Structure 1
């Protein structure tokens, strides 16, 4: 019996070693692939107009009796074949295209590289008269991050393509910085827009450390290298400089919005306040009240509506579910986003 237990334990130990070895090999492969760089994302194109047409046909057939629906479906099939033959003989002229892109922003505007890649592709394919619709949702975040994201939308304006931004939920602070780049800005009745302001908050635990006899040395080269700190003792001079920098950033934000929407009374609007879409049309923050779905459905009546997105291949590590660090990071981001929204959310 003891001999059997000995051999069984030896077998279990060998099996465990093999499993660990396989795990190490897989980890090394995943790391090597990551070092080689991510594989190129695939551009996915969806014909939104065709989607509307198919839904319309299905709903129209649903209201008929089975016999009527069968006849109607045969008739539709004949019409489709006839249309296909005509297109082979005489291809239709190029139709105006409405390209649709989504941007869902977090604190760091981390979707910006994807947006940049999509815009680069559009600038290669779009023709004169085409329109780009960006469905935008963002409560704002880091100034430099949203400045870069806004610059991507400016590329479309500079290429003389009509840019329409549709906001269904929120485009506040950095989100509005992006939205104001549009030639035409549409927001849903209860979408939150505005918040043209700058905010910064820094916790300071200097008194707590001092109470517990903990010294913190903050060494800098340059008078204003560090104005306010979390650990050291803050001075009035440092605080004044920090506020001056905030005011400068606010001034840049105001000029950025004014250049793109000169009809705004910017000093009255740039107070950090927010408005619902139904209110924002009267003060010039937006041009039209409506939803993105309604706008695209109307556009599909006279143009080819094409949604584009990038599908990124999952890495080996992701396929194995090793995403704990990314999950923690997303949780922290969501917590900060929630704190930021408290300043503009209306209840």
Structure 2
């Protein structure tokens, strides 16, 4: 009897802990909901300074300390004289009322590692807006792009963000180190110049949609499925109902129409491409893509940035969204399950590029 009492007390304690955790999660979600409007922040990293620091660190292992100290002293003296002259010029301009803010052209570096629904566009639009707010003539943007494609609407919006840079006459270079296929290439073709690593995967200008159908399995187990729609083509193919030839033909037509729009978009931005040859859904490696005109040069982003850091200031721009407390506590497992389910549904109902 005493054992049962102790066991019941133990269960009560466990229940109390579980209820407390649930209460904390609910409270955290409520707080997170109230602060949903809170924005993230821009993180700016000076890649030129990082490059110089790396060079200096290695030089200490390669050259005599006396030589390095002498060079450093000379550089500091030159920098001091240049800064003194600059300050004098600023004071004179301010005194005469002709002071204007001036700076040298910069290279801004953005990163887009695209998921299937292109959710990274939320950060991309903030980064692009920030650059447009301060851009001057001569500035350039390098986008390090990695994506195998995904939802048409998501990658269409991401491409539109890059178009904002081109509309503002800002040079846009796209770098592909691993893959820019399908929707990824839709984004890449916006660039004034596309560079890619020798074995980067490029192309896949096509559209695909697929979904399983469980209708026979449901019938076998005497499970009925009902779906009500208003509008002849509100739903064409379905995962649980019986699909008709008419529904398949309509869905195929929608895929073909999306492919035509995709090709028109590519043609608008890279008119020299032979679309009959490359818009087949195939993908190619970097060197093959260069021969076909899908890219402009074989080069990695590392080589491009190393060269740029020697000549001008290079700034990496990242927009970081602050995570809500509820997301940090309970987000990972639930979000993963939700993403898997969303992908299964979305793949069947929306075309993918």
TM range (shorter): 0.7 to 0.9
Deviates more, 1:144-153 or 1:293-302: 293-302
After superposition, the Cα gap between the structure-2 partners of 1:71 and 1:129, relative to the gap in structure 1 and judged at 3 Å, is closer
Query: Is the 1:99–1:131 Cα contact (8 Å) retained in structure 2?
Result: yes
Specify every segment of 5 or more residues in structure 1 that has no aligned partner in the other structure, as ranges: 1-5, 337-343
Q: Residues 124-139 of structure 1: matches in 2 within 5 Å? A: 124-139=133-148
Deviates more, 1:104-113 or 1:26-35: 26-35
Q: Does 1:280 align with 2:289?
A: yes
Pick from 52, 71, 76: which aligns with 1:80?
Answer: 76
Query: Is the 1:107–1:333 Cα contact (8 Å) retained in structure 2?
Result: no
Q: How far, CA to CA, are the matches of 1:76 and 1:208 in structure 2?
A: 76
Q: How far, CA to CA, are the matches of 1:330 and 1:80 in structure 2?
A: 54
Q: How far, CA to CA, are the matches of 1:16 and 1:250 in structure 2?
A: 56
* Other-structure match for 2:65: 69
* Other-structure match for 1:24: 23
After superposition, the Cα gap between the structure-2 partners of 1:10 and 1:235, relative to the gap in structure 1 and judged at 3 Å, is closer
Post-superposition offset of 1:45: 1.1
Deviates more, 1:287-296 or 1:81-90: 81-90
Query: Is the 1:186–1:286 Cα contact (8 Å) retained in structure 2?
Result: yes
After superposition, the Cα gap between the structure-2 partners of 1:291 and 1:335, relative to the gap in structure 1 and judged at 3 Å, is farther
* Other-structure match for 2:86: 90
The two structures have a TM-score, normalised by structure 1, of 0.85
Post-superposition offset of 1:138: 0.3
What is the SS of the residue equivalent to 2:319? Answer: strand
Q: How far, CA to CA, are the matches of 1:137 and 1:22 in structure 2?
A: 39
**Structure 1 segments (4+ residues) deviating >6 Å:** 9-16, 331-336
Query: Is the 1:62–1:69 Cα contact (8 Å) retained in structure 2?
Result: no
After superposition, the Cα gap between the structure-2 partners of 1:38 and 1:85, relative to the gap in structure 1 and judged at 3 Å, is farther
**How many residues are aligned here?**
331
Deviates more, 1:14-23 or 1:127-136: 14-23
* Other-structure match for 2:181: 172
What is the SS of the residue equivalent to 2:317? Answer: strand
* Other-structure match for 2:97: none
* Other-structure match for 1:51: 50
Post-superposition offset of 1:264: 0.1
What is the SS of the residue equivalent to 1:300? Answer: helix
What is the SS of the residue equivalent to 2:233? Answer: coil
Q: How far, CA to CA, are the matches of 1:311 and 1:232 in structure 2?
A: 43
Post-superposition offset of 1:132: 0.5
After superposition, the Cα gap between the structure-2 partners of 1:72 and 1:262, relative to the gap in structure 1 and judged at 3 Å, is same
Pick from 306, 309, 319: which aligns with 2:315?
Answer: 306
* Other-structure match for 1:340: none
Q: Residues 261-276 of structure 1: matches in 2 within 5 Å? A: 261-276=270-285
* Other-structure match for 2:208: 199
Q: How far, CA to CA, are the matches of 1:291 and 1:36 in structure 2?
A: 41
Post-superposition offset of 1:107: 0.5
Q: How far, CA to CA, are the matches of 2:287 and 2:231 in structure 1?
A: 49
Specify every segment of 5 or more residues in structure 2 that has no aligned partner in the other structure, as ranges: 88-100, 346-352
Q: Residues 1-347 of structure 1: matches in 2 within 5 Å? A: 21=20, 24=23, 27-64=26-63, 68-69=64-65, 72-73=68-69, 75-77=71-73, 79-80=75-76, 82-90=78-86, 94-320=103-329, 323-329=332-338
Q: How far, CA to CA, are the matches of 2:235 and 2:11 in structure 1?
A: 58
Post-superposition offset of 1:329: 4.2
* Other-structure match for 2:96: none
Q: How far, CA to CA, are the matches of 1:15 and 1:222 in structure 2?
A: 52
The two structures have a TM-score, normalised by structure 2, of 0.83
